[in-house]
Every structure is written in C-alpha cells, then in structure tokens.
Amino acid sequence: MPLLVLALSLATLLQGKDTPAAPPVKVSVYYESLCGDSARFFTQQLYPVWKDLKDIIELDVNSYGKSTNTPDGDGYKFQCQHGPRECKGNMMLTCAKKHVSNQDKFMAFSNCVMKQLRGAEAGDQCAREVGVDFCPIKECLKSIEGQRLQHEVGVKQAALHPTLYYVPWILINDGFSRSQLSRAQANLREVVCQAYTGVPPAQCHLQDL
C-alpha cells in the first residue's frame, strides 16, 4: 500500500475514534404471556436479534396486551384475552422486569417462559435454568406490588398512539406503522439495522451469510 494511502487510512481511523456513537434503536414491544403470535415473535425474532444487536438496541418490553384492569382495594383486578392464567403470566413477567436487574438474565428468563407458553407455571423452572432468583419475583406476583406494577404497564400502554389493536405491538424509536409491524415480525434484524444511524455492526449482515 502506498505511504500516502496508508497515512490517509490511519487518519480516517483516528478521526472515527472520537466520533460519538450513534444512539441506539429503541425497540418497544407490548405482548401477552399466552399469545401464540407473541411467543413466536419473542423467541424467533426479538430474543435472538437482541442477543446479537443489544449494543445498538434500547429494549422496552411490556407484558400486557389486550388486558383491562379495575381498582380492587389497594390493588387491581385484571382481565386478559386468554384468561386468568395469562393475567398471572403477564404479571410474573412484569415482576421479573422489576426484580431481575441483569438484562441478559431477564431476557433469557422471559424467552424461556415464552417458549414454554405456560405463563407463570414455567417461572420456577425457567428461573433455575437461567440462574435467576425466583423468590422476589414470586413474592411480587403474590402481592399488591405486582398488581400496581401491572397497572402501570396498562397506563403506559393506554397512552400509545395509535391504540394497540394487535399483539405483539411493535414500535421502533417510538414510531408505529402497519408496514413496520409486519416487517418487524418477519425480520426484526433488518428493521433495527436499517433504523440504526451509525455504522451497522457485523451482526447486521448475519442474514446475508
């Protein structure tokens, strides 16, 4: 390589060293613990893509979906699309989000639960498999704390525009469109990599191998 070209290449690399990193792509997902479409998206798209691209993703997962809640004393009662077992599963995942501080372990736990599609019944086993302490999650699930946390997810979801009418509901950088929803369900990796404004990491090209 000529010396001038080599010098220019080194200068470019040094300049790039001080360039601020591009902001991560925010991926927001609203899903249900016993929904087949939610399970497919979580286990086949969200979890594997997040594992590969977590350095450029700001993740926001919310287990609520087509649920409703009403005040009940100091807490709340919930009704869910797939019945009481789903309400319990949703709340368990919400409790895990609060009490599992390591995001890698939280996502591994959630992926295990969604893969089994048994809601809260899979909690203890999945916690053991991924090395998560299930005790605080279990206590949260049985308490007013869990009800209040789940209510907060419902309030957050109710503020979405447009209003959720399908599960899983997927937003990229807080934006929603029907075409983006379809694309994200089929190829989340491509959607995230196209939305990223920095230099795409090598994992963006895995699908091309």
Number of Cβ within 10 Å of residue 180's Cβ equals 15
Question: Residue 169: beta bridge partners?
Answer: 30
Question: Residue 71: beta bridge partners?
Answer: 76
Locate the domains of the chain by residue range.
26-194
Q: Which CATH superfamily is domain 26-194 in?
A: Glutaredoxin (3.40.30.10)
Q: What is the pLDDT of residues 178-201, one digit of tens each?
A: 999 999 999 999 999 999 999 999
Q: With both helix axes pointing from N to C terminus, report the angle between 123-130 and 103-116 in degrees, rounded to the nearest 10.
A: 140
Question: Residue 79: beta bridge partners?
Answer: 68
- Sign of dihedral through CA atoms 102, 152, 126, 55? negative
Instruction: State the number of CA atoms in the 13 A half-sphere of 144 facing the CB.
Output: 5
**Nearest-angstrom CA–CA distance, 164 and 143:** 27
**Nearest-angstrom CA–CA distance, 146 and 90:** 10
Q: Which helix (H) or strand (E) holds 92?
A: helix 84-99
Residue 3 has pLDDT above 70, yes or no: no
Q: What percent of the chain has pLDDT over 70?
A: 89
Q: Are 139 and 129 spatial neighbours (Cβ–Cβ below 8 Å)? A: no
Q: How far apart, in Å, do the first and last CA atoms of the chain sit?
A: 29
Q: Which helix (H) or strand (E) holds 89?
A: helix 84-99
Q: What percent of the chain has pLDDT over 90?
A: 88
pTM (two decimals): 0.89
Q: What is the pLDDT of residues 110-120, one digit of tens each?
A: 999 999 999 99
Q: What is the pLDDT of residues 66-89, one digit of tens each?
A: 999 999 999 999 999 999 999 999
Q: What contacts 89, CB < 8 A, 6 or more positions away?
A: 33, 34, 63, 113, 118, 119, 120
Tell me how far CA of residue 168 lies from CA of 3, 12, 63, 110, 164, in angstroms. Answer: 55, 43, 10, 15, 9
Residue 13 has pLDDT above 50, yes or no: no
